[in-house]
Amino acid sequence: MTKERYSRIIGSGVYIPDRILTNRDLAMRVDTSDEWIVTRTGIRERRVSDKDNPTQGAIALEKALKSAHLKPSNLDMIICATNTQEQLFPAVAAKIQAKIQEGEEEPQYMAAFDIQVGCSSGLYAECIANAYIKSGSINTVGVVATDTLTKITNYSDRSTCVLFGDMSAAEIITVSSSPGFIAFDLGTDGRISHLISCHIYSDKFHGKSYLQMDGKKVFNQAIRRMEETARNILKKANYSFSDINLFLAHQANQRINENLLERLDIPRDKYFSNLEKYGNTSSPSLLVCRHEAKQEGKLHSGDLVLSVVVGSGLSWGASLYKEI
């Protein structure tokens, strides 16, 4: 009888850019104020990177490998979740693979590829890593989530420029005899893909492509879809909300997440947030939350973690994870 395979996270790392862009900084560029931004979003500052995605993604992955006491040669695959790749191809993951093995006389040629599902990308990458490991085809995956949204942000549009920041995060996910990842729930409604978009080339901005979003409609969809996916995954895995020890929700807007906490009847002390200091970092959002929650002693062995996300597509998803 074949023993069932599971996957779990054994290491994580983040890259946080040094430059801080505050609400007061933005108020000098557009018609806004610190009070206006905080009241509507919960964000006070965000980070701006001077590095490209392969560079900052590699830094995060190297930190994750160090925390897992592994070397790049231990990886069977690298999955990079990103929406802001500097080139259409090659993959950011391929460049990260090269960067983490610089100077190696005999580099390993592990599979390396990108996925793009908007802000949902990080959770989707975890799901793919879990599926590969459970299939028995590989044992250890480096998941990297990296985005530099400030490079596609229109700083003359106050409805979007206050929201986004840059960040990278990485996790080492490996085979386990007991489940870390218990379940995933994923979904997409392509009929409303126009609500969040960024064209490769834009005549409107003389070739410059900027992120565009219908904020009001996205706000309502985000609450609806994250509530649905949270309920779906708990039903699928035979758990209840009272079983949850830590709740992680995509860090896009605090009013969205407060609404979600109320609808799901989750106590606020079970919710971890870093939105006010980073803003919406897109694909790394949930991975950074999990990393910082553990660093701050808010994630313990045996804890059940419910994570929910929503992103362009319109995509959404949830994961249920037991900390080992």
The type of residue at 317 is G
- List the catalytic residue out of 83, 280, 289, 291: 280
| 19-22 vs 77-81, strand pairing mode | unpaired
pLDDT in tens, 270-289: 999 999 999 999 999 999 99
Q: What are phi and psi of 239, to 5 degrees?
A: -120, 165
* Confidence class for position 203, pLDDT limits 50, 70, 90: low
* Reported confidence tier of residue 205, pLDDT bands at 50, 70, 90: low
Computed over every residue of the chain, the mean pLDDT equals 96
How confident is the model at residue 201, as a pLDDT? 61
pLDDT band at 200 (very low <50, low <70, confident <90, very high): confident
For range 161-187, the mean pLDDT: 98
Catalytic-residue membership of 280: yes
Distance CA 176, CA 172 (A): 12
Among the listed residues 119, 127, 161, 289, the single catalytic one is 119
Q: Out of 23, 130, 250, 253, which one is annotated catalytic?
A: 250
Residue 207 clears pLDDT 90, i.e. is over it: no
The amino acid present at 268, given as its one-letter code, is R
Model confidence at 35, pLDDT cuts 50, 70, 90, reads very high
Q: What pLDDT was estimated at residue 44? A: 98
Residue 209's pLDDT band, with cuts at 50, 70 and 90, is confident
pLDDT of 206 > 60? The answer is no
Domain with CATH 3.40.47.10 in the chain: 6-176, 181-322
CATH topology of domain 181-322: Peroxisomal Thiolase; Chain A, domain 1 (3.40.47)
SS3 for the chain, per residue?
A: CCCCCEEEEEEEEEECCCEEEEHHHHHCCCCCCHHHHHHHHCCCEEEECCCCHHHHHHHHHHHHHHHCCCCHHHCCEEEEECCCCCCCCCCHHHHHHHHCCCCCCCCCCCEEEEECECECHHHHHHHHHHHHHHHCCCCEEEEEEEEEHHHHCCCCCHHHHCCECEEEEEEEEEEECCCCEEEEEEEECHHHHHHEECCCCCCCCCCCCCCEECHHHHHHHHHHHHHHHHHHHHHHHCCCHHHCCEEEECCCCHHHHHHHHHHHCCCHHHECCCHHHHCECCCCHHHHHHHHHHHCCCCCCCCEEEEEEEECCCEEEEEEEECC
Q: What architecture (CATH level 2) is domain 6-176?
A: 3-Layer(aba) Sandwich (3.40)
Is 250 an annotated catalytic residue? yes
Cα–Cα distance measured from residue 168 to residue 70, given in angstroms and rounded to the nearest whole number: 19
